[in-house]
């Protein structure tokens, strides 16, 4: 699905040099690399505060802790996402409220969010799934109207742009009150281990979060709140510093591959290509509204599972993200949920298939993949 080694080979010298510098200086934790990466990511995202942490799941949890969400507070999020999003809500004893998504963009459905708001609702967590932003204009308007926090789960869309209805362009993850991301190796900006970060423009929230990631300490050995231990280590920061200047190029490479996939599939029956919501108005080859963490097709003639098997048999990697709606997972099922409220997620889990997507895909590989899929689905 991803070619991490191919990418490493192209940046090997710089990465190896910075890692060996860290080994020589022994500044493994809270070293200068971490601080520099934080500043560089703040510049890239044009956000006031980046707080690095240990992984994307921690980032979400710490964002919720920083906002002071309390047991019993309701938090609305998408039914169709990676479990981390709902996991941290449940772990903090907040009440997860899962809602349906849009069939074409896979992102949280605004009318479903609106329907789910109650007097106990405290926050909405849009997940920018597969690399493009949820409808942030509508989410921010709803949040303002109902006095809710917006926590963007930006694990899959770092580098994406979102242009609001007034033409203001912002980076994904910096639009809501707080955003989170993951630097898991296969993410668009991946390190060589675990890593994550939290973003916010709110000074007080940033201060609160900086203490929470460090055992609730704001002054050495004074623990004012219950915190956690969540750090990005220096070696991961060095890898990320080497890759951050290349992120836009990585996103371009993904977009180019996506455009080629779409060209091959778009006239095919039974295969629905992913939709880009172009908020910037720029041409599709330069538009950064979608950074294609995943390239996800829908197979509408019931052959998805057979296609997965066929591709596996032919050594073509593919993935099903996600095969089970969160509201049907044992850990998160609840009698509050009603099947009629999830028609789109229930359908998508049977139709979606994600294709190899990374920065090193070449034309020959793409043609091999698209030919195999078309021949099987419509042959």
Task: Select from 17-25, 42-50, 55-63, 134-142 the region that touches ligand PLP (CB under 6 A).
Answer: 55-63
126 touching ligand PLP, by CB under 6 A: no
Residue whose structure tokens are 């190896």: 16
The only residue of 96, 176, 196, 325 in contact with ligand PLP, by rule CB under 6 A? 196
Q: 168: Cβ–Cβ under 8 A, 6 or more apart, which residues?
A: none
Is 184 among the residues that bind ligand PLP (CB under 6 A)?
yes
Structure tokens at 33: 């690399």
**In contact, 92 and 151? CB cutoff 8 Å:** no
The DSSP secondary-structure symbol of 190 reads: -
Residue with the CB atom nearest ligand PLP in the bound state: 56
Q: Does 81 bind ligand PLP (CB under 6 A)?
A: yes
Phi, psi of 307 (to 5 degrees): -65, -45
Q: Which residue in 19, 41, 45, 57 binds ligand PLP (CB under 6 A)?
A: 57
**Mask: binding to ligand PLP, 132-171, rule CB under 6 A, as x and -?**
---------------------x-xx---------------
Q: How far is the CB of 173 from ligand PLP (least distance, A)?
A: 12
Residue 182 as a binder of ligand PLP (CB under 6 A): the answer is yes
Q: Which two tokens stand for residue 160?
A: 């994406």
Q: Which stretch binds ligand PLP (CB under 6 A): 51-59, 158-166, 207-215, 312-320?
A: 51-59
How is 308-366 classified by DSSP, letter by letter?
A: HHHHHHTT---B-S-SS-GGGSTTT--TT--GGG-HHHHHHHHHEEEEP-STT--HHHH
Could you tell me which residues are beta bridge partners of residue 49?
A: 200
Core vs surface per residue 149-159: b (16+ CB within 10 A) or e: bbbbbbbbbbb
The CB-of-187 to ligand PLP minimum distance in angstroms stands at 6
Contact pattern from residue 83 through residue 102 relative to ligand PLP, giving x for each residue in contact according to CB under 6 A and a dash for the rest: -xx-----------------
What counts of helices (H) and strands (E) characterise the chain? 12, 14
188 is a contact residue toward ligand PLP (CB under 6 A)? no
* Residue among 34, 101, 127, 206 that touches ligand PLP (CB under 6 A): 127
Nearer to ligand PLP, 149 or 265 (CB): 149
The answer to whether residue 345 forms part of the interface with ligand PLP (CB under 6 A) is no
Query: Cβ 338 to ligand PLP, closest distance in Å?
Result: 24
Nearer to ligand PLP, 87 or 303 (CB): 87
Q: Which residues contact 190 (CB under 8 A, 6 or more apart)?
A: 4, 183, 184, 243
CB burial of 92-118 (b: ≥16 within 10 Å; e: otherwise) equals bebbbbbbbbbbebbbbbbebbeebbe
Q: How far is the CB of 128 from ligand PLP (least distance, A)?
A: 8
Q: Within 10 Å of residue 18's Cβ, how many Cβ atoms?
A: 17
Stretch that binds ligand PLP, among 18-26, 50-58, 61-69, 112-120 (CB under 6 A): 50-58
Please give the residue ranges that form the binding site for ligand PLP (CB under 6 A): 55-57, 81-82, 84-85, 127, 153, 155-156, 182, 184, 194, 196
């Amino acid at each position: 699905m991803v070619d991490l080694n191919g990418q490493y080979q192209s940046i090997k010298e710089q990465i190896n040099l910075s890692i060996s510098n860290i080994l020589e200086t022994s500044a493994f934790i809270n070293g200068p690399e971490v601080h520099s990466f934080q500043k560089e990511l703040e510049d890239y995202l044009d956000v006031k505060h980046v707080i690095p942490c240990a992984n994307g799941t921690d980032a979400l949890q710490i964002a919720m802790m920083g906002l002071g969400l309390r047991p019993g507070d309701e938090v609305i999020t998408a039914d169709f996402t990676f479990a981390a999003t709902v996991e941290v809500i449940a772990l903090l004893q907040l009440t997860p409220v899962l809602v349906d998504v849009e069939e074409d963009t896979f992102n949280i459905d605004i009318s479903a969010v609106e329907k789910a708001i109650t007097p106990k609702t405290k926050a909405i967590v849009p997940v920018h799934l597969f690399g493009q932003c949820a409808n942030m204009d509508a989410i921010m308007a709803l949040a303002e109207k109902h006095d809710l926090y917006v926590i963007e789960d930006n694990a899959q869309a770092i580098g994406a742009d979102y242009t609001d209805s007034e033409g203001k362009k912002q980076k994904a993850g910096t639009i809501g009150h707080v955003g989170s991301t993951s630097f898991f190796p296969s993410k668009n900006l991946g390190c060589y281990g675990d890593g994550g970060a939290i973003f916010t423009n709110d000074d007080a929230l940033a201060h609160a979060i900086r203490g929470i990631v460090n055992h609730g300490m704001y002054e050495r050995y004074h623990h004012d709140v219950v915190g956690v231990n969540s750090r990005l280590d220096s070696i991961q920061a060095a890898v990320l510093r080497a890759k951050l200047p290349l992120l836009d190029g990585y996103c371009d490479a993904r977009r180019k591959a996506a455009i080629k996939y779409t060209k091959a599939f778009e006239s095919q029956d039974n295969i629905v290509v992913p939709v880009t919501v172009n908020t910037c108005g720029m041409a599709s080859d330069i538009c950064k509204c979608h950074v294609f963490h995943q390239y996800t097709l829908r197979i509408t003639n019931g052959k998805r599972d057979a296609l997965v098997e066929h591709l596996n048999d032919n050594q073509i990697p593919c993935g099903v993200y996600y095969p089970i709606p969160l509201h049907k997972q044992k850990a998160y099922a609840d009698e509050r949920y009603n099947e009629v409220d999830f028609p789109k997620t229930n359908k998508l889990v049977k139709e979606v298939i994600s294709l190899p997507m990374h920065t090193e895909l070449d034309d020959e590989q793409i043609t091999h993949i698209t030919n195999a899929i078309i021949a099987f689905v419509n042959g």
